[in-house]
């Protein structure tokens, strides 16, 4: 029985999260977690490629897309939302793949909720991203002025010069999703990232871990990927010729690396 539905579910804080489920009900589950300022639709290429064999769960991270804006958000909250989604869908164990902010969520889950996951994939992310001052200043600016300044320059961070983002439908949609992200939701996520630092904890991760880095990545660099690989026992690092949103810039390469990794685990 294949299903495709979108549900609004309530997390442990009584707030609403928007969740989408695709694929056969009894197939192994994969949860995809979006980057800062995007929504679940950024995973379209991976969803299309995998939904015939997997139960694919996507969701809008709190403060993004159709999910509630929730103040005083921390990395722990981002991780607990995922556990709440698994519980609501009666999924005992899943593969988890997060990009950027979602990659930090993956690390938190690998540290604190490993029993719920077959694997974690940490794409274009780091055990600590950027600086506390930088994130807090960005949060303040977005709350004061909205997201339009960021929208105008975002393609320079998200995509490499080689990528024709202007003629790529998904890239354009994703830039639009940033324009539609609630400023308060974006700012709350920035503040969560400001204090998120799991460099000391990641060596405790024992769940199979794939790390994907972008070769042209200005934010979460290959060095960040190497740091995680050195500290997470048995983890694999794969570099894709892309910038920050590698799953959109190089969808076939991303999906191939990811699907080979999860197939090797089952």
CATH code assigned at 94: 3.40.50.1820
Contact 205, 111 (CB under 8 A): yes
Over the stretch 128-171, which tens digit does the pLDDT of each residue have?
Answer: 999 999 999 999 999 999 999 999 999 999 999 999 999 999 99
Q: Which two tokens stand for residue 258?
A: 């990811």
Number of domains the chain contains: 1
pLDDT at 266: 61
DSSP assignment letter at 126: -
Average pLDDT, the chain: 96
Work out the pLDDT band at 2, boundaries 50, 70, 90: low
The pLDDT of residue 221 is above 50: yes
Q: Pick the range with the lowest mean pLDDT from 1-10, 14-23, 60-69, 224-233.
A: 1-10
Between CA 27 and CA 154 the distance in angstroms is: 36
Closest CA to 193 of 59, 76, 96, 84: 76
What secondary structure does DSSP assign to 58-79, as a single string?
EE--TTSTTSPP-SS--HHHHH
Rounded CA separation 93/116 (Å): 5
pTM higher than 0.75, yes or no? Answer: yes
3-class SS of residue 209: strand
Residue 1 has pLDDT above 80, yes or no: no
**Amino acid 191: pLDDT:** 98
Give pLDDT, residue 141. Answer: 97
Whether 109 has a pLDDT exceeding 90, the answer reads yes
Please say if the pLDDT value at position 3 is more than 60.
no
- The two three-digit tokens of residue 137, written as one number: 């200043």
The domain in which residue 75 lies consists of 2-263
């Amino acid at each position: 029985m294949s299903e495709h539905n979108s549900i609004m579910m309530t997390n442990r804080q009584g707030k609403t999260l928007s969740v989408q489920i695709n694929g056969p009900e009894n197939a192994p589950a994969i949860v995809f977690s979006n980057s800062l300022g995007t929504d679940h639709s950024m995973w379209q290429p991976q969803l299309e490629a995998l939904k015939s064999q997997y139960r694919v769960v996507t969701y809008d991270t709190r403060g993004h897309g159709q999910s509630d804006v929730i103040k005083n958000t921390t990395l722990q909250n981002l991780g607990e939302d995922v556990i709440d989604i698994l519980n609501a869908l009666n999924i005992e164990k899943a593969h988890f793949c997060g990009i950027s902010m979602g990659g930090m969520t993956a690390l938190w889950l690998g540290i604190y909720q490993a029993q719920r996951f077959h694997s974690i994939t940490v794409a274009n992310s780091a055990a600590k991203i950027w600086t506390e001052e930088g994130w807090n200043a960005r949060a303040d600016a977005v709350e004061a002025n909205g997201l339009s300044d960021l929208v105008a320059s975002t393609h320079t961070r998200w995509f490499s010069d080689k990528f024709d983002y202007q003629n790529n439908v998904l890239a354009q949609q994703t830039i639009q999703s940033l324009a539609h992200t609630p400023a308060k939701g974006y700012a709350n996520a920035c503040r969560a990232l400001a204090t998120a630092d799991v460099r000391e904890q990641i060596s405790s991760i024992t769940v199979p871990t794939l790390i994907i880095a972008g070769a042209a990545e200005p934010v979460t660099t290959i060095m960040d990927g190497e740091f995680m690989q050195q500290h997470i026992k048995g983890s694999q690092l794969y570099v894709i010729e892309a910038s920050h949103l590698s799953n959109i810039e190089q969808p076939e390469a991303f999906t191939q690396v990811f699907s080979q990794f999860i197939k090797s685990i089952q």
